[in-house]
Amino acid sequence: MKSLICQTLTVFRKETVAAARFKGAWLTMLMFSLTALSLTSFVFKGTATDSAILSAIYWIIIFFSAMTSVDRLFMEEEFSGTIQMLKVYGGAIPILFGKMLYGFLLLLILSIIITFLFVLLFDGNIPLENAVFFFANLILGVFGLSAAGAFLAALSASAKVKSGLFAVLMLPVMLPVLLPVTEVTTKIFEGVAFGVSALIPALLYDLVLMLASSLLFDYIWYDDL
């Protein structure tokens, strides 16, 4: 277990160093989020509308921001031609978890920025007693996006036909987690009080998704070695 954690952190540090050298992906995600937020704010004229619509807009922006980030997790190795070396010298599970952790933290930071701008632009209301639930729900949604994204990014990188594969697979895989987190966000915007049980569906799906990814990753990672 200690070796797995150390190797995972090594992959995470490698991703962080690479991201510091190539800031284009960060700027692309940030500009997409700002553009989407600004456009929707202008359309709704900055006024609060139906809570369900606000919740849907919020998670749509986060989802497509993830689409512009997590699909790049294996792109550097694929373009530089070092992906075969990574397969030979790196363990499959540490690589998956390391890239998953990097994608999670990257998307979480972006989602927090989106959240503050969203509340500011749409005059959103998050009751103080529900703030902890809101961020717990956000973490569950972001973790699901990063877990699915890391696995599907590796799958699309290994596929012979890459064009559009990630986008086609991401939505159906993520719907089971997007639906409950969007529903919880709607209740929070409405000021409805609820318990921890409302977060269980997203948590269970995240765990299933992480387990399935770790079990299947060996087969796609070493398929064409």
pLDDT, tens digit, 9 for 90 and up, residues 162-200? 555 666 777 788 888 899 999 998 888 887 777 788 889
Using alpha carbons, select from 140, 5, 167, 164 the residue that is nearest to residue 70. 167
Could you tell me if 108 and 71 are in contact, meaning their C-beta atoms sit under 8 angstroms apart? Answer: no
Going by pLDDT thresholds of 50, 70 and 90, the confidence category of residue 42 is confident
pLDDT for the residue numbered 204 = 92
Q: Which of 9-18, 64-73, 180-189 has the highest mean pLDDT?
A: 180-189
Cβ of 4: how many Cβ atoms within 10 Å?
Answer: 12
pLDDT for the residue numbered 203 = 92
What is the Cα–Cα distance from 118 to 122, expressed in whole angstroms?
Answer: 6
Q: Considering only residues 224 and 114, tell me which one the structure prediction assigns the higher pLDDT.
A: 114
Is 90 exceeded by the pLDDT of residue 49?
A: no
- Please, is 81 exposed, middle or buried when counting C-beta atoms within 10 Å of its C-beta (0-12, 13-18, 19+)? exposed
What is the Cα–Cα distance from 190 to 185, expressed in whole angstroms?
Answer: 9
Contacts of residue 103, defined as CB under 8 A and 6 or more positions apart, other chains included, come to 69, 70, 73, 145, 146, 149, 150
Contacts of residue 169, defined as CB under 8 A and 6 or more positions apart, other chains included, come to 152, 155, 156
What is the Cα–Cα distance from 136 to 69, expressed in whole angstroms?
Answer: 22
- What average pLDDT does this structure show over 62-75? 76
Task: Tell how far CA 80 is from the center of its chain.
Answer: 24
pLDDT for the residue numbered 161 = 47
What is the Cα–Cα distance from 104 to 145, expressed in whole angstroms?
Answer: 8
- The whole-model pTM stands at 0.85
Could you tell me if 29 and 65 are in contact, meaning their C-beta atoms sit under 8 angstroms apart? Answer: yes
What is the Cα–Cα distance from 147 to 17, expressed in whole angstroms?
Answer: 21
Contacts of residue 2, defined as CB under 8 A and 6 or more positions apart, other chains included, come to none
Domain segments of the chain as ranges: 2-221
- What average pLDDT does this structure show over 138-146? 92
Any idea what the Cα angle at residue 138 is, between residues 137 and 141, rounded to 5°?
Answer: 85
Using alpha carbons, select from 118, 109, 159, 113 the residue that is nearest to residue 139. 109
